[in-house]
Amino acid sequence: MYSNAPGCRACGSTGCVEILAFGEMPLSDGLLSEAELERHEHRFPLTVVFCPDCSLVQIRETVDPGILFGADYPYFSSFSDAWLRHCRENALELMETRQMGPSSLVIEIASNDGYLLRNYVERIIPALGIDPAPGPAAAAREAGIEVRQEFFGRALAESLAAEGTRADVIHANNVLAHVADLPGIVDGIRILLKDDGVAVIEAPYVRDLIDHCEFDTIYHEHLCYFSVTAVSRLFSAHGLTLVDVRRLPTHGGSLRMYVQRAGTPSAAVGALLAEERSLGLDRAEYYEDFASRVREVQKSLNQLLGSLKAEGKRIAGYAAAAKGTILLNSADIDGRFLDYVVDRNRHKHGKYMPGVRLPIYETAKLLEAPAPDYLLLLAWNFKDEIMRQQQEFRDRGGRFIIPIPTPQIAA
Ligand SMILES: [Zn+2]
């Protein structure tokens, strides 16, 4: 069901040191059906460690991917407008700078429902998606995208390359952290890239996670938490070069990394490496007070909600997101505090949040009596978008609680 990684996921070192232990947590995306409420629910330890040898922050436990990403995996990328816009702009920029056309090939690892590749297909640029999840893969095919419904790794890359399939551009958004065989996915990217091809990889930036106390972005699906130092070492160990990097505001702070088979790192790469060295991201001391800061946030959120309940207020949660599972369970926030959770994704309606077992409804529920007085934003990374969408809730006197980095009621 789960195993502990025998050593560092990138370099194999056995000297990893513990940063934060959550204890046992439910699977963050394991939304429960009515029938599943009767059955035993999986819980696994969740422990964050740091590798002093290559600087990679990672969790110790690997849950069997069959359990993690089974047939019910509910994540459809196309449910956030801001994320779709972000991806579209990225695709358009690459088509332009790389002068892509009908003879080019773009491949996306974890292509989900085709949210990104559809931008290429619209412009008649050949696109291949790779994704093991049947629901999202079917949605991508409906959008006219060819999909290989498999887990990506060295073996699949080798068989594609043997068929003559190599890419001008490879996208890998928020997937590098999800793969237990990290060396395998990096080798796979090298194998699939044309000699002058580029892989564009986005992943949450561990520096933002630590600095802004985004502990709820840590869950069993997220095996690794990258710094520029750690990724640049990882890529060079596998014959790739990190040629450019940008910091992005998405998902609480991410990196967009440009990786090629050969090339020279840009000034931006050098600058971020120097910043990380001076901040100490490559040393265990940087992570030392993280656990106590996390416990402080959990405690103060629990107290804030407790005092609102004592005043007779009604509270609901917004977004049945993975990070919501971790936030609610780790801060011990259940039906004593929240009446329910709402989400725009219809695939989640009628289900229950893992662990705390709060029911999930459509967002229209917020306007039904008895309406909540407060809405706890579990998907705080989309807070501006959500607050705009819920203007009517606000107009009726509803208020928002932002949990991270410090729990507060939005002005
Ligand atoms: Zn390591």
Place of tokens 């710094």: 227
Give the H/E segment covering residue 360: strand 360-361
Distance CA 202, CA 204 (A): 7
In tens, the pLDDT along 178-223 reads 888 999 999 999 999 999 999 999 999 999 999 999 999 999 999 9
| pLDDT per residue as tens digits for the range 211-222 | 999 999 999 999
Residue 1's CB is within 10 A of a number of other CB atoms, namely 8
Average pLDDT along the chain: 94
**What SS3 class is residue 2?**
strand
Higher-scoring residue by pLDDT: 79, 321: 321
CA of 13 to the centre of ligand 1 (A): 5
pLDDT digit string (tens) for 77-133? 666 788 899 999 999 999 999 999 999 999 999 999 999 999 999 999 999 999 988
Across the range 4-33, mean pLDDT stands at: 95
Q: Are 332 and 302 in contact (CB under 8 A)?
A: yes
* pLDDT at residue 135 in the model: 86
Handedness of CA 274, 278, 284, 286 (dihedral sign): negative
Q: Show the tokens assigned to 299.
A: 């405690």
Report how far ligand 1's centroid is from the alpha carbon of 230 (Å): 8
> What number is the average pLDDT over the span 391-410?
95
For residue 57, the CA-to-ligand 1 centroid distance in Å is 8
- Tell whether the torsion through CA atoms of 384, 178, 272 and 15 is positive or negative: positive
Per-residue pLDDT at 175 exceeds 60: yes
Q: How far is the CA of 330 from the centre of ligand 1 (A)?
A: 27
CA of residue 63 to ligand 1 center, whole Å: 20
> E-assigned strands of 124-192?
127-130, 146-148, 167-173
pLDDT of residue 213: 96
- Which residue has tokens 């609680």? 401
pLDDT at 156 > cutoff 70: yes
Residues sharing a CB contact under 8 Å with residue 245, sequence separation 6 or more, in sequence order: 228, 255, 256, 257, 258, 266, 268, 269, 272
The β-bridge partners of 245 are 257
Give the distance (Å) from ligand 1 centre to CA of residue 90: 30
pLDDT at position 30 is 87
Question: From ligand 1's centre to the CA of 52, what distance in Å?
Answer: 7
Amino acid found at 318? Y
- Indicate the SS3 state at residue 146: strand
User: For the chain, what is the total number of helices (H) and then of strands (E)?
Assistant: 13, 19
The neighbour count for residue 233, using CB atoms within 10 Å, is: 18
Distance 219 CA to ligand 1 centre (A): 19
Give 233 Cα–ligand 1 centroid separation in angstroms.
9
Q: Does residue 75 register a pLDDT over 90?
A: no
- What is the average per-residue pLDDT within 164-189? 95
Pairing, β 224-225 against β 193-204: unpaired
Distance 49 CA to ligand 1 centre (A): 10
Nearest to 1 by CA among 40, 37, 48: 40
Q: Cα(235) to centroid of ligand 1, in Å?
A: 13
User: Average pLDDT in the 335-349 region?
Assistant: 95
Q: Residue 232: is its pLDDT beyond 70?
A: yes
**Tokens read off for 46:** 């969740």
Q: CA Rg, the chain, in Å?
A: 21
SS3 call for 256: strand
Token pair in block for residue 124: 């008649």
Q: Could you tell me the two tokens for 32?
A: 């429960």
Pair 323, 28: CB distance under 8 Å: yes
- Which tops the pLDDT comparison, 104 or 381? 104
Confidence of residue 406 (pLDDT cuts 50, 70, 90): very high
